[in-house]
Structures are given as C-alpha cells and as structure tokens.
Amino acid sequence: MHRPQRTYGRIKARTLKPRQAGLMETLLPHLAVPVEGEIDIDSLFAAPPEAARAPGGPGGALRDFGAGDNPGSSPEAGAVVLEIGFGGGEHLVAQAKAAPGARFIGVEPFLNGVASCLRHIEESGVANVRLHQGDAREVMARLPAASLDLCYILFPDPWPKARHHKRRLIQPAFLDELARVMKPGGEVRFATDWANYASWTLQHFTRDSRFAWTAERAEDWRRPWPGHVTTRYEAKKLGDCAPIWLRFLRS
Ligand SMILES: C[S@@+](CC[C@H](N)C(=O)[O-])C[C@H]1O[C@@H](n2cnc3c(N)ncnc32)[C@H](O)[C@@H]1O
C-alpha cells in the first residue's frame, strides 16, 4: 500500500502535566472525531458534549494570543471549519469562541498540542470544537465531498531543505483531497514565514484550476485576513521572511 510522506516532526515531547493527562482521558473522548468510517458532520456536532459545556476557568491563556483583537470575519452559523496542524490550539479555540455557531474540527498529531488545546477548550467553555490526534490527510479522506467552508493551514512545518520538500503538506495529492472536501466557494487560508514555502504553495495552487488566489494587491498577502489571531509558532518568528498570507477560493 502507498504510504504518504510524513509531514510532521515529533508527536510527543515532555510528559503531560496531570491536569492535561486528565483532560486527555475525560474531555477528549467527548470531542474526538470517530477514528474510522465516513465522518457525519451533523452527528459529530449533534449535542454539545456535557464535559465541554461548563467553563473551567477564565480563559486567560487565549487572551495572551490576541483572541478578539480583530473581530470581523467569523464564519457563519453552521459553517464547517477545519484547522490542519493547530499546534497548541490557541488559534482554533479563539476562532471557535468568536464564532460559536460555526463548527470547528482541529487535527494535530502532536500529543502535547492536543493536550494544550483541551486546556484552552475547557478554560474557554467552547462547545463547537472537535479534535483528532493524527494526520489531517487521514481525516480529510473520511470527510464527505464539499463539506468544508473554510480550511486553515497556519505555519505548516516548512521543511526548508530541498531534500525534505517532499514532506511538505502542500502537494498535488493533498490539493486533490482539499478540492474534494471544500465546498464550492469555500476558502483555504494558508500562512508561512518561509519564503520558499510561500512560493511553493502559490505555484501549487495557481497551477490548479480548482482554486483561485484572491489577492489583488501586495497588501492582500502582506497582511493577515481580518479576525486573525496570532499563533504560537507565528509569534516565534522562526522563518526567513515576514509572514505571507495566502487565501484561495474553491471554484
Ligand atoms: C510549525 S507547527 C505550527 C503550529 C500552529 N499552526 C501554529 O502556527 O502555532 C506545524 C504543525 O503542523 C502539524 N502537522 C504537520 N503535519 C500535519 C498533518 N499531516 N496533519 C495535521 N497536522 C500536521 C505539526 O504537528 C505541527 O504542530
């Protein structure tokens, strides 16, 4: 069987703190995307999970990352949003908080990131986030066609060395799957602070007639979209350029 290239680095770092380990056991099962079979989005979001309903704290950590700094482009009620590689979940949960009627699916293979996201979910009390620990491509393969209104790919692993470019998430096969799961008119939002990954992504999307790059002037890719919430990786400024913000519409 053909195995796709691994696009991520480590899947575990330090041992989880007791509170996070507890949330993996108590909260994650209520929010988890089923591990097999076609994903029925309405069932996935049917009843808000009891364990996720009550805020467990003030949600201060989200404020550190600018939640609500720049409101104005929240997805509509019922919209389905996928965030691929949510890292620690600060962005995912802030967006979910800003758009309580929309439905957010976050996928991240890094265990400590999933545990951190659960803490943000508990602290903020959001009830519209579902999670999967693993490879987003595996989840996408089980999503119905034309099911996503919005897909975030924020600061994906850059794999800067040429011999590692094959590990980048953006590949023709990935675009095939993305084209299948996006609704007509749905939007893909991609950001990177690695110049070569920005050009790589632009080349892949602009060669593909199923997607249209929305930029009309330099400002459109130099500035984040309205409502952006700074991510943890973005704040580290590890790349070789200022962040580049690319928006593509599915035709
Ligand atoms: C550089 S980090 C950025 C994290 C976060 N988006 C941020 O900006 O803070 C890239 C993340 O993408 C995740 N990732 C890589 N390949 C993935 C895949 N195939 N599916 C889901 N997540 C993936 C990695 O585990 C990592 O946490």
Q: What are the per-10-residue average pLDDT scores of the chain (251 residues)?
A: 84 92 97 97 82 43 35 80 98 98 98 98 98 98 98 98 97 98 98 98 98 98 97 97 98 97
240 is catalytic: no
Enumerate residues lining ligand 1, CB below 6 A: 7-8, 84-87, 107-110, 113, 135-137, 154-157, 169, 231-234
Report the nearest atom of ligand 1 relative to the CA of 234. 8
User: Catalytic: which of 40, 42, 64, 157?
Assistant: 157
Residue 48 confidence (pLDDT): 59
Q: What is the per-residue pLDDT across 87-107, written as a single tens digit (0 to 9) for each?
A: 999 999 999 999 999 999 999
Q: How far is the CA of 156 from the centre of ligand 1 (A)?
A: 5
Phi, psi of 95 (to 5 degrees): -65, -40
Q: Mutation test of ligand 1: which of 86, 153, 197 has the most ligand atoms closer than 8 Å to its C-beta?
A: 86
Distance 96 CA to ligand 1 centre (A): 18
* pLDDT of amino acid 1: 54
Q: Which residues pair with 80 in a beta bridge?
A: 103
Q: Are residues 118 and 93 in contact, defined by beta-carbon separation less than 8 angstroms?
A: no
Q: How many beta carbons lie within 10 A of that of residue 101, not counting itself?
A: 11
* pLDDT tens for each residue of 132-152: 999 999 999 999 999 999 999
Q: Is 197 exposed, middle or buried (0-12, 13-18, 19+ CB in 10 A)?
A: buried
Q: Which two tokens stand for residue 138?
A: 């595996």
3-state helix, strand, coil in the chain (%, to 5): 35, 15, 45
Instruction: Say what the pLDDT of residue 74 is.
Output: 81
CA of 169 to the centre of ligand 1 (A): 9
Strand-by-strand arrangement of the 148-154 sheet? 129-132, 103-107, 80-84, 148-154, 182-192, 244-250, 211-213
Here the tokens at position 1 are 């069987």
Report CA(9)–ligand 1 centroid distance (Å): 9
pTM (2 d.p.):
0.92
162 contacts: CB under 8 Å, gap ≥ 6 = none
